[in-house]
Amino acid sequence: MPDALRDALHDALHDARDVLASRFGHADFRDGQREAVAAVCQGRDALVVLPTGGGKSICYQIPALMREGITVVLSPLISLMKDQVDALTARGIPAAFVNSTLNGREIADRFARVRDGSLKLLYVAPERFELGRTADRLRDAGVGLLAVDEAHCISEWGHDFRPSYRRVQAIRDALGQPQTVALTATATPAVRRDIAEQLGLRDPAIVVSGFDRHNLQWHVLPMKGDAQKDATLLALLRQVPGPAIVYAATRKHVERVAQWLDRQRVPARAYHAGLDDDERRDVQEAFLGDRVRVIVATNAFGMGIDKPDVRLVVHWAMPGSLEAYYQEAGRAGRDGARSHCVLLHAFPDRFTHEFFIKASHPDADVVRGVYDALGRLASKGGLVDADSGVIAGRMPGRVSDKAVESALRVLQQGTVLDDVGPGDAFVRLRWTPAEVTQRLGAGASPALDLLRALWRAAGARLPKGAVVSLDRLPVSDAGPDSVTDVLDVLDALARDGAIEWRRLSAGLALRQPGAPLSRFPLDWDGLERRRRAANDQLDAMQRYAYADRCRRAFVLRYFGDPAGRATGDCGGCDRCLGDARPFTVAEPARGAGAVAGGRTRTAKPSPPREAPEALTAEESARFDALRAWRARVAREGRLPAYTVLPDRSLKAMAVEPPRSLADLHDVPGIGPAKLDRYGEALLRVLAALPAVGPPGMQ
């Protein structure tokens, strides 16, 4: 590296540390963060793979605060956006999100803040770029950096492949190809290569670090059935204090286990995709705000959740891939304190995932059967107003609703189907081209511009009737510039007899009704590849469960971490600890309803590795009082507790109570924004607590 470039990079990293300290209260970057921030400061594209709890967001948030222009963050979940923005706003960092929870006025206000430069970070879902002029507005404002969060969603080899994420390269192009950083917690070497290729990253810096979480202990407990799983789960929760997450494979199991724990007087709530948005938000906020101890969830819970003090993650059933397991289990111990990751393993759990794989990756006969059923159900214009259950009922044999839904996604990706939403309409052009010219002339007018936009959207299908998105009509400056204006012009054209049109409710539409399926570019080979990849991932998960050597090394080798080549006693998994189990395991209970009274075998506890210093009684009292203050502030502000202050800040104050705002500024995790917001209140709380000192000197 030339001396001038090395000096510039040194200066940039020095400035980045200053921002890290002043805005986030951290003295220095963690391993991996430093390399990622350095790459972004050099102007390079980057692919960053840091484990859950490794601080991935810092890798783009710090550069965002150091440069001109808006940083756009592509994020897959509404709850994830909200948590990130809440945390940034609590630190005084100007950030916002745009998603379907906002009304038109709120969205317009946030884009106005982008234009005037008062926002530094904007969180957006990939689907938002299919609506209106989102890309144009952001490109015109000047995108300094594009961050793609949860980037494993891009790869068909990843554990959470999402078709909407396959369009991210087109989004990047529409934004003017800004510098890009992709971030994920779990990516094997093959997934990393696919992410870089799909995004079109230019000579990216690849940062892979921190998979070896020394504070986590990994255990697999063989189970004989659901009764033993329940009893063992209860024993674990009673022996390991603190917040806990329990993962189950199906909504039915989630609901049952949560209700059962509640009956055992363990405060628990269920979380899965079947709950409405408000209820999911309430459950999540209750957990983050320490108002409920245990979340029992499907894999719908956890992406982007940053609760640092989770002490126990139990998988009540084996997940379908080691990627999913490592990401979910890795939500334990994000504050660095010792925590436990436990898999309750019964071989029949595999059958559940084999069913899921078969349903998620349907074979060609199922896809063809769904297409034939759609043809029989379609009305005028190819519209289909039927759910997956109705479609399954029109097919021969037994086909699950889940398999039908997967086949519909295959057909949509192959341009066979359009997904009809609230912004869509059925439009049929009744005038011939000659009539259009005769009645409207050739000059610019709103009516003519709209007809041209409709033709560009639907082409030769328009005279027979086609589904078009009113939100995506590429009208010219002379034509309508809002959906309201579009509706007015459509109504006027309908009154003149030029078109017929109607708004559509949610449903599906065949693009070319009656056309043979062979006419469409369906990726049959890709469907088969993804099915094989899913089975390979399940096999790897099964091998982990039956591993007879170090589990930590197994995981590290799987993800390509060089630390996985080390041999010896890791001291952090059941294979290396032997019989030194740090908790009690329940024996199978006999008879229905006898689970809670099942016998247990107590294992000899092992000493924790690098155990933190224990607090004295007085320090513990101060720590508890500070936690109570934090919980009250979080509840009143409807914030996750960790966004107020992390446990490490509270412990530091419990051990050495600050006496002034200047002292508070030196507490880890308290930057200027936290000091301004909470400083005086903290001093009042601390002043009411007993001081630390030798006996007789207090």
DSSP states of 632-661: HHHHHHT--HHHH--HHHHHHHHHS---SH
Say how many CA atoms lie within 13 Å of 47 toward its Cβ.
23
Q: Could you give the CA distance from residue 137 to residue 174 in angstroms, rounded to a whole number?
A: 10
Q: How many CB atoms lie within 10 A of CB 675?
A: 17
| Cα gap 561→210, rounded to integer Å | 8
Contact 183, 48 (CB under 8 A): yes
CA distances for 644 relative to 285, 483, 630, angstroms: 13, 41, 7
Question: ∠98-101-105 over CA atoms, to 5°?
Answer: 65
Local mean pLDDT, 10-residue blocks, the chain (698 residues) = 56 87 86 90 91 83 92 84 86 89 85 92 86 83 92 72 74 92 86 89 87 88 91 93 93 94 93 86 85 91 76 94 90 89 92 88 91 86 80 87 88 80 80 87 80 85 82 50 68 89 75 87 87 91 92 88 73 80 57 42 39 70 87 79 80 88 82 82 82 44
Alpha-carbon gap, residue 70 to 95, rounded angstroms: 10
Calpha distance 337→328 (Å, rounded): 17
Gap between the terminal Cα atoms of the chain: 58
Coil/strand/helix, residue 444: coil
For residues 566 and 550, the answer to whether their CB atoms sit within 8 Å is no
User: With contact defined as beta carbons under 8 Å apart, do 456 and 442 qualify?
Assistant: no
Q: What is the mean pLDDT of the chain?
A: 82
Q: What percent of the chain has pLDDT over 90?
A: 27
Contact 541, 453 (CB under 8 A): no
Taking a C-beta distance cutoff of 8 angstroms, is the pair 128, 81 a contact?
no
Please report how the helices 58-65 and 3-19 are oriented relative to each other, as an axis angle in degrees rounded to 10.
100
User: In this structure, are strands 339-345 and 312-315 parallel, antiparallel, or unpaired?
Assistant: parallel
| Residue at 655: amino acid letter | V
Q: Going by DSSP bridges, is the β-strand pair 499-503/424-429 parallel, antiparallel, or unpaired?
A: antiparallel
The model's pTM? 0.68
Q: What is the Cα gyration radius of the chain? A: 28
With H, G, I as helix, E, B as strand and everything else as coil, classify residue 518: helix
User: Cα separations (Å) of 4 from 9, 13, 14, 651?
Assistant: 9, 14, 15, 43
